[in-house]
A and B are shown apart, each in its own frame.
Chain A
Amino acid sequence: MSAPVVVTGMGVVAPTGLGAAEHWAATRAGTTRIRQVQRFDPEGYPSRLAGEVSSFVAEEHIPSRLIPQTDHMTRMALTAADWALDDAGVSPEEWPEFDIGVVTASSSGGFEFGQGELRNLWRRGGAFVSAYQSFAWFYAVNTGQISIRHGLRGPSGVLVADQAGGLDAIAQARRLVRRGCRISIAGGVDGSICPWGWVAQLAGGRMSTVADPAQAYRPFAADASGHVPGEGGALLVVEDAESARRRQVPVYGEIAGYAATFDSPAHSGHEPGLRRAIEQALENAGEAPHAVDVVFADAAAVPDLDRAEANAIRKVFGARGVPVTAPKTMTGRLLSGAGSLDVATALLAIRDQVVPPTVNTVPRPEHQLDLILGASREMPVSTALVLARGYGGFNSAMVVRRAGWAGPPEESERSER
């Protein structure tokens, strides 16, 4: 049995708020942030809605040095990393440089930055392309920039698995911590709400073209019509439980189990891989299905994918056998930011014993889901299952639960972030 790996800090930059406290307050209240795209003019595109991080002003959060060389999503990631480290009480300059690593997930990279440089290339010539294009668009850039900013030389990496990547990154961080790295900053902060990113996502055929923000993203509904994209995510400080106890810092919870599977080709007739991912994640956590208090759904809002997810949940937990929620109905789907934001939200649900709602949808009765609708549900929560699927057949499942040692008793109140 491996030693527990826990979460001791979180940094959230999401449509629902800057910082975990703002995000959690808005999420508990069921506040939707889906609206007309502001970052570019969406007229002329079939989809015009998004969950944007509208209150983020980069200059207020990161040094001027980093502005010319970073895409919007990297600026948000750097900010989330700062907040996660603060929250965990970790000042990297006081730590041995090889003790802390970074693992982030990305779906595509810094598309808005890349689009600007492609425009320069076409309109003005190669001499006008920024030298920073060499890395600013690159999918590995968030890990690199966070590592450089804080001087982190521990084992690091990047995972690319579309929406599933946020969970995969946290799982990789857990592996690295088990192999001896004391702390890993892990998760995803993502987004490409710019014309280039928009047409790339439209080509996938899963974006909703419904104009009304209250009707556009309806997972599990009879009239599910695809999703609304969003931006942002969360980074977590993932730490060896013994290290957290030695430091006497509060613990949000344990990364207890994880598994990833890959779907067979659609024409193969094989069952999609999500059920196996759930079962293997539970086995990895050493938990039976009845121990799970709530499931955070992937919530694709594409009828076939909704059916596959509902079937997987029903096969493991029984009909209406477990409460299910999808707070991403408030933010849109955040690409690789989705999984880590759901893990952060699940840990806050465990802390406060309340599960945030799913908004703007009503599930088809055939799905037999106990979907938490409209308002938060106060209930005992010790263990949560988070699901995430990526385009192309990625399935990831992660089990988080209340930690055996949750921190020194006098520090039961978390900081405001």
Chain B
Amino acid sequence: MQMLQYRTAALAGFATQCWWGGIKVMVFAAFYGGSAVAGAASPMSLAQAITYTWLAQGLLVLLPWLADPEVAQAVRTGAVAYDRLRPVDAYVLWFARSAGWIAARLLPRAALMAAFAAVALPLAGLGEWAWQLPASAAAGMAFLLSAGLALLLSTAMVMLLNVAATAALNERGISAVVTPVVIVFSGNLLPLALLPDGWQTALLVQPLAGLFDIPARLYFGQLSGWHALVGLGLQCFWIGLLAASGHLAMGRTMRSLQVQGG
């Protein structure tokens, strides 16, 4: 029964995501369909904007707005003391755990979303609203590689949130501040390319673009060849930087953390 309820909750979440995506698709279609000028004013086609929307819904779990609940609980219950005693680096241990936590939620949801938007929608006669294939096989491979990096990047950010939640003993306030920022700058709200032209460079080099927007650009073949390497490099750069600072911050927090018996 409990399992069933979790499954119902997961399906409810999925239904919400489909609804969200559907409304976005209709709004995009309305904006693009308005006039011939509209299509020209846009750096991406309607079909790309629609595919971007479904991709964003499928990869939603990658967005780091919550600390790993297990870590938060370990700190609250004192179980964190055991992790400190293990002969491995606590950061690496938690990093692996959090990456697994994200991946476990990511894969089924992405698969469901693909089944809905790439298979069910065309079958229902809504082909123009469907999730399209990547620009080429190479683009698809680059996308998969980049999505893997996005998972690591997401984990590095969740680790920073974990450390912050450990220090504050409460993750709700942090997540309230982080969530809107993440949604806008990862490209989940709107393809970053559709934001004003003057912002594009800044939008591309900030770390949150690596969560979703860079993989999506690779998918469409907008970043190809040399540029694709730069995009992947940018993701690696931010993973390295954020993981290093997370490691440092965690060491510092752990030293000052007091485990109260139990």
Do these two chains interact? no
